[in-house]
Amino acid sequence: MQENQKTLKRRYEFEGKGLHTGKLVKMTLSPAPANTGIRFLRTDLGPDAYIDAVADYVTLTQRSTTLQKGDITITTLEHLMATFFALGVDNALVEIDNVEVPILDGSSKPYVEAILPDGLEEQDAPRVWYDLKTPIHYKDEQTGAEFEITPAPEYSVDLLVDYNSQVLGVQEASYRFGDDFANEIAPCKTFVFFHELELLVKHNLVKGGDVENALVIVEHPVPQEELDRMADLFRVQRLTRTPNGYLDNVNLHFPNECARHKMMDILGDLYLVGCRFRAHVRASKSGHKINTEIAKRIRYELFGRTSQC
């Protein structure tokens, strides 16, 4: 039975701030014709400022994924891309009036809650799943991150997360295409270690971070004055460390929420292959740098360096 491409049924509007830039942004998700793929339009740069969501345009990968084509830049798109992939959106136009996709609550949940009740629009064009023919193995010797992708009859991902953290321990997560992304992965928020926060701020990152959009892992007990300094950063009155080693700003949805969020990042970054493919992905210590490198390698394996899906 033929499986057809799908797009959104209507327009969806979102407004918020970018996690790293802190800039306010308005973003609209709209239906797009068959065979369009996922395209971004920087409306603040003009009516022709389009960039396709493919790994060819990946530039920066520090704490998020950035695409750039000439003067057109889009960053922190991974949560939105994961939503499109997992819900089955093949074609969509994303209109955005600034450089960074809004972080919203730090997860994919706001997108899912908007799109899922309406369902998707089936289009008069077949959905093509490409089959990976040759295994791909890649290891980043500097970070220890490692991917192994092998041909398989279905799309699946198995992930291991190990930060040598007493709080997190070793976490695992798995995903098979068609799994309940909406309830099992979408609510999982981005996370950061407490000791990283000041360094990130010094590097002009997490300007849009607040107590609603991130889990903060506090590896060891810290003096209250340090917590108070972070409270000032987040513009709240007081923060404390919970017995299980997190700031008390948000509650965990799952014991392995950090691994599930990393799964979200993988799904979004790998959708930058630009199409759907069948393979089994095994990832260890993943991050945006290796995720997007793998997307480039899969894209090259399937289509060659200059080919389009």
Output the six-digit token pair for 1: 């039975």
Distance CA 21, CA 23 (A): 5
Output the six-digit token pair for 202: 């010094």
Which residues participate in catalysis according to the annotation?
A: 288
Distance CA 136, CA 151 (A): 9
Query: What are residue 308's phi and psi, to 5 degrees?
Result: -115, 150
Burial class, 159, CB count within 10 angstroms (exposed 0-12 / middle 13-18 / buried 19+): buried
